[in-house]
Structure 1
Amino acid sequence: MVRFAVLLPLLLAGCGGAVAGTAVPDASVAAPLTRAVFGDLRSIDPCGMTAPDTFAGIGPARTLARTSMDDCTFAVTVQGQNVEIRIGLLLPESELAEDVTDVRSLPGNVRLVQKPETDEACERYLVLSDGLAVSAVADPQNSSVSLDRAQVCGVAEAGLTGVHRAATAGTITHWDPAPNSFVRLSPCSLVPGAELARRTGIAEKDTTLLPAEHQCRWGPAGSEQANVQLDFFVGKVVNDTTGTIPAPEDVAGRPTIVLLSQSDSVKVCNAYTDNIPYQLGIEDEIERAAVRVLLPGSDERDPCAIARDTAALAWPRLPAAGGN
């Protein structure tokens, strides 16, 4: 909110009149920072969301291979040891844990918030004035390192401060995806909600599309109830020499790898198919679409059957694999 410095009426000696005042904006207070400063959220280059010197006060930083369309991974050297930070995932504030707490405020009515302290990775979020949140997750590259939590969290906070500076300066980087890139699609639009509801029992209204439109979820987050996701992400060409990855199968005309993992409490099946090389890749990464089905361990249904059915609904709406 803009404050105003108002010139109060001055009673002049020997004169009963007042001097008129003029409202003057206080230039020291930044205008609210909203998602508008990011432009088209779908085409943001997550590795271009931070200011160039973001980690200069901590140590050397380098960009690692892309694994996501939504965030960027940096390795930052802290006292000779690497801390990895994944930064850039956009979330609605409603997706954050209820017990996040404020770390500090930044200009533009922006908050830096944290998840409760644990022994796991350090998670911080930059929450803009309109509720759009930017995620940063930092953890040591080697679990045996001697860095303390404050040093690791310092990397996460520096990253988000860099995002804030870039957003304020209007230097967030975008890219122009190829016509047949998955980036040009919205995953929620590829699966008819009513049909998915009929097959899974998940209410059509229980659909969450993340702001950058690379991830869609039907059902609640977490592992206590069934949910289905359709994500666009980045990976490397599979070159399995051990035989641990099953051979691709045909699903709606696209080669699709189907993988099941399970424990006593949860069953998860992923079905994914490849597309074109990822234009922003640095190690020959490619675009991928993946259906992920999660069922509680007590659910007797086959998650891979649901994954194949969901992929069969979505794949025909994708651009031809590797095509134009």
Structure 2
Amino acid sequence: MSPRLRHRGLPLLLFLLLVAGCTPGGSPQAPAAPRQDSGSSQAMLGDLRTVDPCTMTDPAALREFGSAENAGTVSLDYCLLHVKLTNGSLVQLAVGELGRGPDQPGDPVVPRGPLRIVQNAPLPGHCSRQILFADDLALRVSADLLVGDPASGLCGIAEAGANTAAAALEQHRVGHREFPANSLARVDPCQVLDSAEVQQIPGLEEARGRPNPSGHQCSWGEQSADAPRVQLSNTAGDPPKVLHGAATEETIAGRRTVVSVVGGDPQLPLCSAETGNLPFGPDGQVEVAQLVVAVPGMTGIDACEYARGLAGKAWPHLPPPTP
């Protein structure tokens, strides 16, 4: 499984093909423009496409829990840290992913200047906080247990991560990346893949593409594990690799592409197609266009056939992978 998919685990991945709002070749369905007050996401973050989420983290702020280090890039939208706890457990902390504010009113909300921090109820092996802006966008901070004791204080780690991110926002210390003209980060995935192509998948005949707030992802279908879904993401990380027997390296629309049944189990109806672009950072990582298709009721082989077909339509609209 690609590290870009692996870090959340399969149960969450099946449920969290994110949705947000735009229509390729038609009228956009993007979120309303944020209010330009001091607490809006745009006022505090600037250009959402270029935010460097790792500038909102600080491994030293997690010292009371154990040793923390950057876990490498797996997304343009959030920063991933690994925290090795004193009890031997390993926790991952993801900071920075933007989405719509929570729609469950029962969770406590703590005011913090122009911001609000939602203390989400913990789940087994998972705890999260959401930093709410005045325009009702939310910046997510989540702690997930990778190995070890379920009673490892995940909510304390999530709380510390949220406080660090909120401080960076309040002090205007959020940094931004510089992307070249042919970077995937400058490409709107809702314009790369036409909804008419996605609508060929059974169950998605009326689907419209919806972007996430950063503009790095476009999703079609309902946010439900038993519904067909497609997501196209412009992300970054290790170059696409063949990691198991249910993955192949192919050439699609002239681009090297790894097509993979997620998890390697052909009975799982989830497939990804990934192609690299420009180098990203100094450690051999690259920008990656990642297409994920879920077709519940079918097989991973079926999902991969759809993924190949959609990649063949999308890849020609990506910038050429040359400096």
Query: Which of 37, 47, 57 is the equivalent residue of 1:40?
Result: 47
Secondary structure of the residue that 2:155 maps to in structure 1?
helix
Aligned residues: 284
Aligned partner of 2:77: which letter? D
1:118 counterpart = 2:138: no
Query: Do residues 311 (structure 1) and 311 (structure 2) align?
Result: yes
Aligned CA distance change for structure 1 residues 176 and 297 (closer, same or farther; 3 Å):
same
Other-structure match for 1:76: 83
Task: Look up the equivalent residue of 2:168 and give its one-letter code.
Answer: A
The CA deviation at 1:212 is 1.0
1:230 — aligned with what? 232
Matched-pair contact (CA < 8 Å) for 2:98–2:137: yes
Greater radius of gyration (CA): 1
Compute the displacement of 1:153 (Å).
1.0
Q: What CA deviation, in whole Å up to 9, does each residue of 1:151-198 have, x standing for no partner?
A: 221111111111111111111010101222111111111011233224
Structure 1 segment 242-281 matched on structure 2, within 5 A: 244=245, 246-261=247-262, 267-279=269-281
Aligned residue type for 2:55: G
Give how far 1:215 is off. Answer: 1.3
**Cα distance in 2 between the residues matched to 1:80 and 1:306:** 45
Q: Distance in 2 between matches of 1:202 and 1:132?
A: 27
Q: Distance in 1 between matches of 2:83 and 2:96?
A: 16
Segments of 5+ residues of structure 1 without an aligned counterpart are 1-30
Scaled by the length of structure 1, the TM-score of the pair is 0.77
2:97 corresponds to? 89
Q: Unpaired runs of 5+ in structure 2?
A: 1-36
| Residues 245 and 296 of structure 1, relative CA distance in 2, 3 Å threshold | closer
Q: Post-superposition shift, 1:119? A: 1.4
For residues 207 and 244 of structure 2, the distance between their equivalents in structure 1, rounded to whole angstroms, comes to 40
Name the residue aligned to 1:292. Answer: 292
Deviation of 1:122 after TM superposition, in Å, equals 1.5
The residue matched to 1:248 in structure 2 has which SS?
Answer: strand
For 1:133 and 1:188, the matched residues in 2 are separated by 21
Say which SS state the counterpart of residue 185 (structure 2) adopts. helix
> In the TM superposition, what whole-angstrom CA distance separates every residue of 1:5-43 from its partner, at most 9, and x where no partner exists?
xxxxxxxxxxxxxxxxxxxxxxxxxx7521021001110
Counterparts of 1:107-256 in structure 2, within 5 Å, are: 107-114=113-120, 116-142=121-147, 144-145=148-149, 148-149=151-152, 151-202=153-204, 206-237=208-239, 244=245, 246-256=247-257
SS at match of 1:119: coil
Find the counterpart in structure 1 of residue 108 from structure 2: 102
Q: TM-score, normalised by structure 2?
A: 0.77
| 1:263/1:297 contact within 8 Å kept | no
Cα offset, 1:316, TM superposition: 0.4
Q: Whole-Å Cα distance in 2 between the matches of residues 300 and 260 of structure 1?
A: 5
Q: 1:234 and 1:45 mapped to 2: Cα distance?
A: 12
Contact 2:269 2:298 in 1 (8 A): no
Instruction: Tell me, yes or no, if the aligned pair for 1:54 and 1:161 is still in contact at 8 Å.
Output: no
> Following TM superposition, by how much is the alpha carbon of 1:286 offset from its aligned partner in structure 2, in angstroms?
1.5
Q: Is the 8 A contact 2:266 2:300 kept in 1?
A: no
- Deviation per CA, 1:222-253, whole angstroms, max 9, x where unpaired? 2211111101222323565x863644212111
CA contact (8 A) 1:33 1:110 kept: no
Aligned-partner Cα distance in 2 for 1:265–1:107? 49
- Give the share of equivalent positions with the same residue, in percent: 28
